[in-house]
Chains A and B, each alone.
Chain A
Amino acid sequence: MSELTLTAIRLGLLALLWAFIFSIVSVLRGDLYGTHVVSKSSDRRGAPAAPARPAKPVRRGPTRLAIIEGPMRGGSLPLTENGVLIGRNPECTLVLSDDFASGRHARIYSGGDSWMIDDLGSTNGTFVGGERIGQGMPLSEGSRVRIGQTVLEVRK
């Protein structure tokens, strides 16, 4: 085996290794530039799909619940058509590890044109804008929901 071939393979191997690393990094670029890029592009992809189903009313309401206070501060979760169940029970969409939250504490669901929130009979209550709520309270963008130590904000 000639020296030249071996050198070529040797350097080729190093080049391949680094090419592999760069392809991984390009797969992960969402991590590098933050998740905003991803959510924007998915919005854009969602927009042309809207006229395709004219039967249903188009809602341009809030899409996200941001956690702005409490142990999970900084996180957020999408508002989905199936509703978001919040509580201590591990089955919940948003699991709170908070002694002031009930197992199934509150539910956010889509009610016609806006998002609604139900308190599911919690012990310590669900508060929207400082007031304890019962069932069927509508939420708008910027509403703040407090459950135990956690505060959620409805965002676009």
Chain B
Amino acid sequence: MKTKIAAPKTRRNTELVLLVVAVAIVLVAYANVGLAVNESLPVDFFTLGGGFAVVAFAFHLVLRWKASYADPVLLPIVTLLNGLGLVMIHRIDLAPGSPDAAPKQLMWTAVAAIAAVALLFFVPDHRRLRRYTFIFGLTGFVLLLTPLLPGIGRNINGSRVWIAVGGFSFQPSEIAKILITIFFASYLVQTRDALSLVGRRVLGLPLPRARDMGPILIAWIASLGVLVFESDLGTSLLFFGLFVGMLYVATERRSWIIIGLGLFLVGAYVAYLLFAHFQERVSLWLDPFQPGMSDQIAKGLMGMAAGGMFGTGLGQGHPELTYFANSDFIIPSFGEEIGLVGLCAILVLYGLLVERGLRAGVASRDGFGKLLATGLAFSMALQVFVVVGGVTRVIPLTGLTTPFLSAGGSSLLANWVIVALLLRISDHARRPTTENEGRPENLGTDDTQIVNVK
């Protein structure tokens, strides 16, 4: 008998059950908003709710077909987060004087899910992405800089991170984040041996050789450029943190983290001294209740305080009093209406999402897949930290979107694509090895081939 390891289960049925629960929770939340605000089910309960469920279950079917060994909990978690975001955006729409953002967000959910499905179709193996390393890298950096172009760049709320083409605005840094993560992963897989060499020791800390400092300095200058010219601390922190995090994972050298943090603190301090709006952000971080300054953070804090432990209930608080209650400040909106208990649930969901991403990295058998999954998961974790830290006064407030929750098409699209990549990597990692190989029996008789040696 073959000493056969029991074939790994695809676990698609587990996913289906979890997905049903996730959609049910979203529908309960949606009904809750309607019952609390209008004392009746929302008129479009069955059409909108059904539309949302169709998107989720269609995605599930695609996974059965195209990535049957993919991680079973990613899709349910993402569906729940996206659905809760939709419900909260809809709930803020109901407040007087608010824009109609929920239908747009639902449309973007469908677009994002279609993009993710397309990715699963066109990228049957994530290692193919390595072929386009430098194209991705270049496109990523160009996208990052497009908001600076006169004509299409837009300065919205003090940050120049938007482009607008024909009445259609988009945040290119969200897409750039994915492209640059692919680029970093591919680049670091090639160069990590050199980057992990040890040079001199300073205070017991083995430092890398001076000549290997080039890439981190370039990343630092690029992120400072974003900070200075686009005045966006969040994006800058995200990109530099992503690079340093991936560098650490690739080389196992703690010194990169210390160097990276040091460089970032120096850059941020210099920016603080030079730019008035950073000083404003920092002083609002230290004391959000100062008279005569923006009261956005203060309103968010008061909202969360009003929610208390269990929240006011969906539709029964006043999250709309905070500016950007459905995008940058959607976390305080949740804090107010579902309370600390509900907000913690959301944070745990993010934690599980990131854990599954890292897990896909651990299980992946190729270095590129490992680094890519880790980088994508880490970027999501960092983004949640920056957003939640900003609204809860752990760090100065910066404008980043909350993945899957915030109103905004570009962010939603980018995060669904990230999840599609994680699904692809986890599918590849869990698929039994025999299915990955071509015809292993014939290997001995294969022709000898010339292999390019680097």
Q: List residues of A whose CB falls within 8 A of some B CB.
A: 1, 5-7, 9-14, 16-21, 23-25, 27-28, 31, 39, 42, 45-46, 49-50, 53, 56-61, 63, 71, 77-85, 88-91, 93-95, 97, 99, 102-104, 107, 110, 118, 120-121
CB–CB B36/A1 < 8 A:
yes
Residues of B324-366 at the interface with A, using a CB-CB cut-off of 8 Å, are 338-339, 341-342, 345, 348-349, 352, 355-356, 359, 365-366
Interface 9-mer from B95-103, B115-123, B231-239, B311-319: B311-319
Name which residue of chain B comes closest to A60, CB basis.
Answer: B3
Q: Is the CB of B359 within 8 A of A24?
A: no
* Cα distance, A49 to B2, chains bound together (Å): 10
A59-B1, A82-B440 given; A121·B80 CB < 8 A? no
B36 adjacent to A80 (CB under 8 Å): no
B44 at interface by CB-CB < 8 Å = no
Those 7 A-B pairs whose CB atoms lie nearest each other, nearest first: A10-B313, A42-B6, A17-B345, A103-B451, A78-B5, A1-B39, A81-B2
Pick from A18, A25, A60, A81: contact of B4, CB under 8 Å = A81
Cα separation A151 to B116 with both chains bound (whole Å): 39
Is B35 a contact partner of A5 (Cβ separation < 8 A)? yes
User: From DSSP, what is the main secondary structure of chain A's interface residues?
Assistant: mixed
Among the listed stretches B275-283, B386-394, B400-408, B441-449, which one makes contact with chain A, having 4 or more residues with CB under 8 Å of it?
B441-449
Q: Is B321 an interface residue (CB 8 A)?
A: no
Bound CA span A115–B3, Å: 11
Contacts of A12 in B (CB 8 A): 28
Q: With A20-B76, A20-B80, A27-B14 given, can you name 8 additional A-B contacts, CB distance below 8 Å? A: A1-B36, A6-B316, A14-B339, A16-B24, A31-B355, A42-B5, A56-B1, A93-B437
The A-contacting residues of B in range 388-443, CB under 8 angstroms, are 432-434, 436-438, 440-441, 443
Residues of B within 8 A of A11 (CB): 310
Say whether B127 faces chain A, with CB atoms less than 8 Å apart. Answer: yes
> Assuming the A-B contacts A20-B22, A46-B4, A53-B1, are A14 and B365 also in contact, with contact meaning beta carbons closer than 8 angstroms in the complex?
no
Seen from chain B, the residues whose Cβ lies within 8 Å of a Cβ on chain A are 1-6, 11, 14, 18, 21-22, 24-25, 28-29, 31-32, 35-36, 39, 72-73, 76-77, 80, 127, 189, 310-311, 313-314, 316, 338-339, 341-342, 345, 348-349, 352, 355-356, 359, 365-367, 432-434, 436-438, 440-441, 443-444, 448-449, 451, 454
- The reply to whether A18 and B345 contact each other, CB–CB distance below 8 Å, is yes
What is the distance, in angstroms, from A63's C-beta to the closest C-beta of chain B?
5
Whether A77 and B349, one on each chain, are in contact in the complex, defined by CB atoms closer than 8 angstroms, is: no
On chain B, the residues within 8 Å of A59 by CB distance are 1-3
Assess the A13–B310 pair: CB atoms within 8 A: no
A107 to B441, CA, bound (A): 10
- A78 nearest in chain B by CB position: B5
> What is the CA–CA distance of A46 and B2 in the complex, to the nearest angstrom?
10
- What is the bound-complex CA distance between A14 and B18, given in angstroms? 16
Complex Cα spacing A102 to B452, Å: 11
Q: Of A9, A18, A28, A80, which contacts B433 at CB under 8 A?
A: A80
Cross-interface CB contact of B3 among A7, A20, A63, cutoff 8 Å: A63
Query: In whole angstroms, what is the CA distance A53 to B451 when docked?
Result: 43
CB distance from A126 to the nearest CB of B (A): 15
* Assembly CA distance A23 to B438 (angstroms): 37
Contacting pair B437 A91 (CB below 8 A)? yes
Write 23 A-B pairs (CB below 8 A) sorted by A numbering. A6-B36, A10-B32, A12-B28, A13-B28, A14-B310, A16-B21, A16-B28, A17-B342, A20-B22, A24-B18, A24-B352, A27-B14, A28-B355, A61-B3, A79-B3, A80-B5, A80-B432, A81-B4, A83-B443, A85-B437, A91-B438, A93-B440, A103-B449
Partner of A14, one of B11, B21, B342: B342
Give complex CA distance A7, B189 in Å: 53
Whether A20 pairs with B25 at a CB distance below 8 angstroms is yes
User: Contacting A31 at CB < 8 Å: which of B21, B359, B451?
Assistant: B359
Assembly CA distance A58 to B2 (angstroms) = 7
Q: Chain B residues near A45 (CB, 8 Å)? A: 6
What residues on A are CB-neighbors of B39 within 8 Å?
Answer: 1
Whether A13 contacts B18 in the complex (CB less than 8 A), given A28-B73, A81-B4, comes out as no
Which partner residue on chain B sits nearest A62 by CB separation? B3
Cβ–Cβ contact B443 & A7, under 8 A: no
When the two chains form their complex, are residues B4 and A90 in contact, meaning their CB atoms are under 8 A apart? no
Best-buried of B3, B39, B356, B433 by chain A (most CB within 10 Å): B3
Give the chain A neighbours of B355 by CB distance below 8 A: 28, 31
Inter-chain contact B6/A13, CB cutoff 8 Å: no
CB of B1 within 8 A of CB of A57, answer: yes
CB of B28 within 8 A of CB of A85, answer no
Docked Cα-Cα span, A79 to B432, in Å, equals 11
Minimum C-beta distance from B353 to chain A (A): 10
In this complex, what residue of B is CB-closest to A88?
B451
Contact of A17 among B25, B73, B436 (CB under 8 A): B25
Contacts of B14 in A (CB 8 A): 27
Contacts of A102 in B (CB 8 A): 451
Contacts A61-B3, A80-B5 known; A10 to B310 CB distance under 8 Å? yes
Given contacts A21-B352, A24-B352, A27-B14, contact A83 B440 (CB under 8 A): yes
CB neighbours of A53 from chain B (8 A): 1
Q: How far is the CA of A102 from the CA of B453 in the complex (A)?
A: 9
Contact of B28 among A5, A9, A107, A121 (CB under 8 A): A9
Q: How far is the CB of B333 from chain A (nearest CB, A)?
A: 15
Residue of B314, B359, B444 with highest tally of chain A CB at under 10 A = B444
